[in-house]
Chains A and B, each alone.
Chain A
Amino acid sequence: DVKVTQSSRYLVKRTGEKVFLECVQDMDHENMFWYRQDPGLGLRLIYFSYDVKMKEKGDIPEGYSVSREKKERFSLILESASTNQTSMYLCASSLYSKTGQGGNQPQHFGDGTRLSIL
């Protein structure tokens, strides 16, 4: 079974701090994703990566950056945390597939990090 591990289940930080959320997958997947999940808004894509050192902006990248130095690890960075970044953060990975333009592979999710910014 694919395992996607997020470093923390719960995290409390202060406004203005630099925050790192780590995600590791063990199935050699090419694609990795960061989402935030908020009540009534569903899942919103922050950033994704389709290869080492490659990254693409998602729908809500402002205030965030990412790093992918190794294939198995994808880090989300809050440059200067603000209270409106309090949320549940979900990491996911998927296998690249040449068929279906790469879209017929499901995503595998970690259990999430509930981040509170005070």
Chain B
Amino acid sequence: GNSVTQMEGPVTLSEEAFLTINCTYTATGYPSLFWYVQYPGEGLQLLLKATKADDKGSNKGFEATYRKETTSFHLEKGSVQVSDSAVYFCALSGGTGGFKTIFGAGTRLFVKA
């Protein structure tokens, strides 16, 4: 079945450092890929998405490119801020899985001032 694997955390960075959170997936068909973010005490919210191969999703300085050849959707940001401290979830839905969403385990990011 479909699955999502993302790097374990926590990830600790200093402010203005470069961020990469790795995400790989296994799926049949042509799924859509998502990154969600969860701030403390809140539910998940959509950060960005890509619906087909080679699409790049971007939002708030974060980017991720849908790479079908490597089945990856890595999250990147050039310069993190303290306010980016949160848990980040990679997810996929669609393809042969329909509208059910498969979530990765989440990666906690701490950014120090």
Contacts and interface: CB of A to CB of B under 8 A. Distances in A.
A binds B: yes
Given A50-B99, A109-B45, A110-B43, A104 B104 contact: no
Nearest to A114: B41
A101 B49 CA distance: 16
Nearest to A112: B43
Contact of A104 (B41, B51, B100): B51
Interface string A23-38: 0000000010100000
B62 interface: no
B94 A48 contact: no
B43 A43 contact: no
A100 B42 contact: no
Nearest to B27: A103
A94 to B, nearest CB: 6
Interface string B72-89: 000000000000000001
B65 interface: no
Contacts of A4: 43
- Max count, chain A CB within 10 A of own CB: residue among B43, B51, B100, B106: B43
A100 B100 contact: no
Interface string B35-79: 010000111111001010000000000000000000000000000
Contact of B42 (A33, A45, A107, A111): A111
Contact of A94 (B30, B36, B99): B99
Interface of A: 4, 31, 33, 40-43, 45, 48, 50, 58, 90, 92, 94, 96-97, 100-112
Interface of B: 29-32, 34, 36, 41-46, 49, 51, 89, 93-101, 103-106
